[in-house]
Structure 1
Amino acid sequence: MDDSDTGAILAEDLESSDSSKVCCCFRVPQNKRPPPCSCPFSVTVEPVMFLSTFSMALQMPLYTQYLWDRISEDVGYNNGTKGGGCNASTVHDPLQKEVDTLTAHWNLYINLGGFVVGLIMVTLLGSWSDRAGRRLVLIIPSLGLAVQATVYLIVMYLKLPVFWFLIGRLCSGLSGDFNAILAGCFAYVADTSARGSRTFRVAILEACLGLAGMFASIIGGQWRRAQGYINPFWLVLATNLAAALYAYLFVPETVTPDPEAKLLSTRHHRAVYRLYASDAPQGRRTKLWLYTLCFFLVVSVHFGCSDLYVLYELSAPLCWGPELIGYGSAAKHLAYLTSLMGLRVMQCCLEDSWVALVGLSSNIVGLIVFSVANTTALMFTGYGLCFLFMASTPVLRSKLSTLVDPAEQGALFASVACVEGLCSLVSSGVFNSLYPATLHFMKGFPFIFGAAILFIPAGIIGGLGCQEKKESRENREGSGIS
């Protein structure tokens, strides 16, 4: 029996059971070694997602602020965050613009370097997990992120040039980066959920992203204010090691590991190519490409705007300090939880496509408010209006997953993770370049640009939703069902 047969049998078993209640202690299929320990709670990969996201959400604002402080010190700008906050009268200060520009550009260089390497590795790791097992794709990237945190700590202790942040980022990229963890977690959920419950199961994973991000943002802002940058980064290192340890000890395997599976093989890329080249059943290829395009545009806007929130808040006219930046980041991540609750409620009366449209509408309105926010109250109003902005991505992941066979889930989520890496690459280049280029006429222009882009996936999802509804009605009429 090969891997595809095993995957199909596992999927059939799950379709006939209540797969909305998946326990990490579920019966391990034959030929699969159980984990060393048993988990007493009804969770599987959720703690891995939580811990990895916590470390990422804790380090990203602090890392951007550290770059800001170091560059401010290098260029002799005395109104940075170290000096107690900026002054609204410095909105046209050329030194502040230079700090904004250099920080955005270094963000771009570091992200480009890491994501280019990660883009290649995540495709290999995701598809490789179909044969080697899902647990390895959870453990290896977690260890890579731990190496990145170690390099960052060394840079801060020794005050090395900011170029060394790029070295740490490349180490993470070589292990698949955070996107490989996302690919492994979502593929795992696809292995262990029925189609009817998959959207909500995916939304639970994305809610873990928000919950971890909210806690990390609140802790990070207060901690940085009290003790600086170094101690929080020790926690980043510890949480990445904890994620790897949990995956090894408690996560059961859903794929029969093949001892002859090779990581460095063109087979993995061919599997992704066949996935998008095949049109069986008829019409699948078009939908797969269109939903992937929607996912690319939505996630690119999310990533691109997230890169700019801290920069936008640090400088005039908002002049936020670390505490307010932490609260703002927490408010942004709280939307993951409100999106989960909103999705659950909306699924009672709306189809998934219309749930996604509501989520996109929330995102568009919030970005428009961000673009003109010149006070703290208006900025938090924007965060409040984005309370459903994450309702669209679980729907898109679920629709992509239901378009392919159970034996193709690894290749699919490898490609989705590859798209996420490409999103980070493109959004970093576009938004981090657009921000300094438009400072002279409208500081919030990148948010307007992001809102305009979101109208494209809204139109595609609406069109495909109408088409799917029509096809469903025709099928019911053809079968004589009223």
Structure 2
Amino acid sequence: MSTWKEKLKRIVTVEPVIFLYMTSTFIVGPTYQQMIITKVCRQLLNDTICKDPEHNKEYQVVQTSASYLLLLFNATLSLVSIPPAILLGSWSDRAGRRSVMAMPSVLSLMGGGLFLAVALVDSMSVYWTLMAAALIGLTGGHVSIFLSSFSYLADLTVGSSSSRTLRMAVAESMIFVGGAVGFLLGGFLEQDVGLQAAFGAYAGCHILVILYIWLWLRDPTMGRVPNKEEKDSQEDTSQVFIVKYAKRSFKVVFKRRSGQERLKLHFLIVCNFLNNLVAVGEQSVLLLFLMYEPREFTTALFGVFNSVRMLLLGFGLLGLFPVLMRCIKEMTLAKLSVVFRIASYILLALSNNTWMVFLVGVVATPAGISQAVIRSLSSAIVAPDEQGAMFSFSASAEATCILFGAVIFNGLYPLTLPTFPGMPFIVMAVFMLIVLILLQWISEMPRTHPRLVLSD
């Protein structure tokens, strides 16, 4: 292999995987939500009201029913995702990262086919979307992509904490860049071409992910030195099974470490959990909230808003973050990021017109920084051969967010709809305030030598 290609393979690694997967996720998110809303409306009301729901009091019933159905969808996705999320990271420490990265896209293709069938066949029940959620979650979904991708980067950046933080920030930015492309593309495809085109684009992204992993990526060898336990497992593969990998993930997170490193890791995992809980809740109710009066967003306008917001979040990580790191400590930047995120949710809750909603995206520009810092600090605490296990535990917590986020926010939204529809976003701001308190607590903990493990 030529030298330039080898260098390029070390520079461009998991970023396209995250970009394509998140593009597909944000294409399909509003699309299946719109499909559920439309099918529920046709079931409860008539086509006349469904085509022109503005200022129709009966449409509130559709909002409530669709919100509860989305709760079931997210609950199914979460419950199915938790077991693989616990297992796959620890398994990837031994078997390699690429296979874990590829599996979610394989089953997402099947889920996309089921979405397409529900959209094409009018007689198919909207509840078939729950089966699609189960298929997508069977290999962990996006949490498996994250745990394998960030473990991959941790392997490549062993011994360089600043390089690790920046590499993870770039990878994290791909979530938002992919979100921008996905929301914009999905919104216009759904409105101008149809649901079928959006689901087709979703499937196309997963095909590209599989081809990229197969043709371009190679498993890194740095930081993956087999220990005695790994050698034994390689000699007797019959003993390598579910309980063993689940136990290893828990062991890595709860093992004793020097100073307050274990407590710091636990706090960081809680911060990661709350960040994802709020993100899931936001996506669960945002479309419903913005389509409701007085905002009355169309699907295309919703796609434009999310694209602008995601591009600004990506700019915050790719543009602002590297510049600010030269003069401000990364933990300080993480706390400032949370403050801006809190402000954006309060503004969103109070928004009653289009320009206020778009201003939310501007205020939230630095909001993605905190998650990149949290991932980097977490990976710095554990040993090189523990990266996958640690990210696996964190990913399993992220998978539960899908369930808890749906229960909290899809359950809360119908209850507050007649009085204050923006209440779920106020609750999100409160959760982010807890993250800010935890980050401040972590920043006041004394620094100790990372990865020094004390015997029990």
- The one-letter amino acid of 1:462's match is Q
- Report how far residue 77 of structure 1 moved: 5.2
Q: Is contact 1:59-1:236 (8 Å) kept?
A: yes
Distance in 2 separating the partners of 1:306 and 1:261: 41
Q: Any residues of structure 2 matched to 1:192-271 within 5 Å, and which?
A: 192-193=156-157, 194-255=160-221, 261=237, 264-271=241-248
- Residue 133 of structure 2 is matched in structure 1 by 169
What is the aligned residue count?
Answer: 432
- Report how far residue 301 of structure 1 moved: 1.1
- The one-letter amino acid of 1:104's match is S
Q: TM-score, normalised by structure 1?
A: 0.85
- The one-letter amino acid of 2:133's match is R
Distance in 1 separating the partners of 2:32 and 2:420: 26
Distance in 1 separating the partners of 2:80 and 2:323: 40
Q: Is contact 1:23-1:43 (8 Å) kept?
A: no
- Residue 457 of structure 1 is matched in structure 2 by 435
- Residue 19 of structure 1 is matched in structure 2 by none
Q: TM-score, normalised by structure 2?
A: 0.90
> Which shows bigger deviation, 175-184 or 427-436?
175-184
Out of 142, 167, 186, the position equivalent to 1:178 is 142
1:368 aligns to 2:346 (yes or no): yes
- Report how far residue 440 of structure 1 moved: 2.0
Q: Is contact 1:207-1:336 (8 Å) kept?
A: yes
Distance in 2 separating the partners of 1:130 and 1:203: 22
**Compared with structure 1, are the counterparts of its residues 400 and 430 closer, same or farther at alpha carbon in structure 2 (3 Å cutoff)?**
same
1:322 aligns to 2:299 (yes or no): yes
Distance in 1 separating the partners of 2:374 and 2:388: 16
Q: Any residues of structure 2 matched to 1:83-482 within 5 Å, and which?
A: 83-84=51-52, 86-87=53-54, 89-90=55-56, 93=57, 95-159=58-122, 160-193=124-157, 194-255=160-221, 261=237, 264-340=241-317, 341-468=319-446
- Report how far residue 78 of structure 1 moved: 5.2
- Report how far residue 320 of structure 1 moved: 1.0
Q: Is contact 2:9-2:216 (8 Å) kept?
A: no
- Report how far residue 268 of structure 1 moved: 0.8
Q: Is contact 1:304-1:432 (8 Å) kept?
A: yes
Distance in 2 separating the partners of 1:104 and 1:339: 32
- Report how far residue 308 of structure 1 moved: 1.2
**1:365-397 CA-partner distances (Å, limit 9, x unpaired):** 110011011101111111211111111100111
**1:323-376 CA-partner distances (Å, limit 9, x unpaired):** 111111112312331221222122112111111111101111110011011101
- Report how far residue 224 of structure 1 moved: 1.5
Distance in 2 separating the partners of 1:149 and 1:75: 26
Distance in 2 separating the partners of 1:181 and 1:260: 28
- Report how far residue 41 of structure 1 moved: 8.4
**1:385-410 CA-partner distances (Å, limit 9, x unpaired):** 11111111001111111011111001
Distance in 1 separating the partners of 2:384 and 2:253: 15
More helix by share: 2
- Residue 230 of structure 2 is matched in structure 1 by none
Q: Is contact 2:184-2:304 (8 Å) kept?
A: yes
**1:440-479 CA-partner distances (Å, limit 9, x unpaired):** 210000001110121111011112213347x79xxxxxxx
Could you say what the CA RMSD is over the residues aligned between the two structures, in angstroms?
2.1
Q: Is contact 2:188-2:300 (8 Å) kept?
A: yes
Distance in 2 separating the partners of 1:186 and 1:261: 26
Structure 1 runs of 4+ off > 4 angstroms? Answer: 77-80, 255-263
**1:114-154 CA-partner distances (Å, limit 9, x unpaired):** 21111111211111111111110011111011111011111
- Say which SS state the counterpart of residue 445 (structure 2) adopts: helix
Q: Is contact 2:250-2:393 (8 Å) kept?
A: no
- Report how far residue 40 of structure 1 moved: 6.9
Unaligned runs of 5+ in 2: 227-233, 450-456
Q: Is contact 1:356-1:391 (8 Å) kept?
A: yes
Distance in 1 separating the partners of 2:72 and 2:142: 18
- The one-letter amino acid of 2:29's match is M
